[in-house]
């Protein structure tokens, strides 16, 4: 499956200091691997190598984000509004993130290959 290929270009040898890193924070992504498969998250930060931190506002809050390998995420092409992102950090509350994710249209089996 090639579902993680767009992220692979960004993370070829870990994080770079490019604008792509900043554009990644605030993106809505779907988990495609693991026990949380199918869950929608907001990318809230970056870590060393090929890992990001994600939050869904309910189970995974901003104070306790999930560490996720980028190969296990599929970008949906949607972002949270820029008013909730300042200086590369998500400033929205957990309730706002949960509301934004719940408003995102759910779709089944529409992974791009």
| Domain containing residue 87 | 5-103
Residue 112 in domain = no
Tens of pLDDT along 90-107?
888 899 999 988 887 764
Q: Which helix (H) or strand (E) holds 77?
A: strand 73-79
109 within a domain of the structure (yes/no): no
Domain assignment of residue 55, yes or no: yes
Q: What is the pLDDT of residues 5-52, one digit of tens each?
A: 455 555 544 444 444 556 789 999 999 988 999 999 999 998 887 899
- Counted domains in the chain: 1
CB atoms within 10 A of CB 45: 17
The answer to whether 62 and 42 have CB atoms below 8 angstroms apart is no
Q: Is residue 111 part of a domain?
A: no
CATH number at residue 79: 2.30.30.30
**DSSP string of 9-57, one letter each residue:** HHTBTB--SSHHHHHHTTEEEEE-SSTTTT-EEEEEEE-STTEEEEE-S
14 located within any domain: yes
């Amino acid at each position: 499956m090639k579902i993680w290929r767009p992220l692979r270009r960004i993370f070829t040898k870990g994080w770079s200091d490019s604008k792509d890193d900043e554009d990644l924070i605030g993106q809505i992504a779907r988990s495609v691997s693991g026990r949380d498969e199918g869950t929608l998250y907001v990318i809230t930060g970056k870590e060393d190598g090929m890992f990001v931190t994600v939050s869904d506002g309910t189970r995974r809050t901003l104070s306790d984000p999930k560490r996720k390998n980028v190969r296990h995420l599929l970008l949906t092409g949607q972002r949270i509004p820029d008013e909730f992102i300042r200086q590369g950090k998500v400033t929205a509350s957990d309730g706002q993130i949960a509301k934004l994710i719940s408003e995102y249209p759910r779709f089944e089996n529409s992974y791009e290959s």
